[in-house]
Amino acid sequence: MANEMDNIEKSLREANALMDEAFESQKLLGELDQCRIDRIVKAMVDAGYENAGKLARMAVEESRIGVVEDKIVKNVFATRNLYDYIKDMKTAGIIAEDQEKGVIEIAAPMGVVVGLIPTTNPTSTVLYKAIISIKSRNAIVISPHPRSVKCCIEAARIMEEAAVSAGAPKGIIKCMTQCTKEATDALMQHPKASIILATGGSAMVKAAYSSGTPAYGVGPGNVPAFIERSADIADAVDKIFKSKTFDNGTICASEQAIIAETAIAEKVIAEVVRQGGHFVTGADQEALEKTVIQPGGGVNPKVVGQSPKTIAELAGIKIPEGTRVICAALKGVGREYPLSAEKLCPVLSFYVVNDWEAGCKRCIELLNYGGLGHTMVIHSNNDAIIREFGLKKPVFRILVNTPSSQGAIGYTTGLAPALTLGCGTWGGSITSDNVSPLHLINRKRIAYHRTVESEKTNHLKANYVYTMAEILKAIDMN
């Protein structure tokens, strides 16, 4: 108990020291112009890209989650792909000018960002959050998950060294080394914290929104993938599997359920099996349910980011060699059907529905059971049905004929490249966007006087004077 208290005390001291340092450094960073900021960001991007492999290996070794090769892709995405999108983005000085309306917009940094990092995507999230913070002239203090502290420290070190070498002040990117819940709470509630970027579990995101500091949070994803009868079935299953097996399903936008129409269900099932899916039934399905989902709800941390082979061993069941995804056919959604919830691993539930209208309803049920506001995907070549899904689904990313993990983050779609995906008010978030540097700036506006004369305004003025005259007359009469 004494050691635990000592650790908490050390972590609290570190949190305060890092916030103080970042606060002072940000004052200097906030004075830099767009050209100097862009030079710093480019140096950070290059350093992150060059260390993508090293950081990926560190992340898997420390967290025991995911696949090295896929984490390399994530690190490249969080640097090079992100940079291609933001390199010409205006985030300093005058960023917009409307001469007709007489309004000028000026970007102002928010201050110090508190970046909460998940163990599922640790180094890529550090790279991404550090880059968008500096691009918007903010400092950042990072709080890693306890299972991925070392790799996050190294990612933050690489980012700050690159930034400082290109002209940023020291102390602009810092990372906690003593990780406790108390220290994370202290960071979020710190008077010098300006904004929180919270990526992680629901409890952590809720704590961020309850801290009293403005926050961007990410809700859970329970992504349904609907295969409509006009879809290319082989292509649909291929993309779903590429998404679900990517880093062993750790991205919250990965598919959690396949919904297929009765008219094509047999073909879909055959294609799932052909591409490496294995359906469990009976006792094996019950064992899988108990292993993947905890008794009180929520995914079992032991299966997060693990391979199908490891998950099967934990469940005590046998699956064919080479199984890519474990599947379970379900008839409903909710607590009585544990595998209908979010599963951050290569496990999919499977549903058969009569038609696209029934598929639409089933998708909504799944989204209501832990995925509101996040993402869904539809595989279809019927544009009318695609648009109906877009109109009716309570999510902010309706992806079409693309892998959901890669599509939602902007890798295989035109969405903004991001590893923080807002779920809007439906998902308890303040934004429905993929978070970019533009979410980390305040906008000042210079607004010039406009002389507006028209018959309508003159009529209003006449009425106004007449009304005042009446009032004055009434006063005199009294």
Domain boundaries, the chain: 2-218+434-442, 223-418
> Is residue 326 within 8 Å of residue 289, measured between CB atoms?
no
pLDDT of amino acid 171: 97
pLDDT-above-70 percentage for the chain: 94
Fold of 223-418: Aldehyde Dehydrogenase; Chain A, domain 2 (3.40.309)
Closest-CA residue to 303 (of 61, 59, 68, 66): 66
CA distance 410 to 223: 16
Across the chain, what does the average pLDDT equal? 94
Closest-CA residue to 404 (of 219, 217, 252): 252
For domain 2-218+434-442, say whether CATH 3.40.605.10 is its number: yes
Q: Could you tell me the sign of the dihedral formed by the alpha carbons of 11, 17, 19, 22, in that order?
A: negative
Instruction: Flag whether pLDDT at 388 surpasses 90.
Output: yes
Q: For the chain, how many helices (H) and strands (E)?
A: 17, 15
Instruction: Flag whether pLDDT at 57 surpasses 90.
Output: yes
DSSP strand pairing (441-447 vs 277-279): unpaired
For residue 202, what pLDDT band results from cuts at 50, 70 and 90?
A: confident
- Residue length of the chain: 478
Q: In the structure encoding, which two tokens stand for residue 70, read together?
A: 């896929």
pLDDT of amino acid 454: 54
pLDDT of amino acid 201: 72
| Catalytically annotated residues | 252
**Model confidence pLDDT, tens digit, residues 410-421:** 999 999 999 999
**Model confidence pLDDT, tens digit, residues 433-466:** 999 999 999 999 999 998 865 555 555 555 555 5
Q: Which amino acid is at 476?
A: D
Task: Please tell me which residue, 340 or 462, carries the higher pLDDT value.
Answer: 340
pLDDT of amino acid 383: 97
DSSP state of 335: T
At which residue do the structure tokens 């140096």 appear? 43
pLDDT of amino acid 48: 98
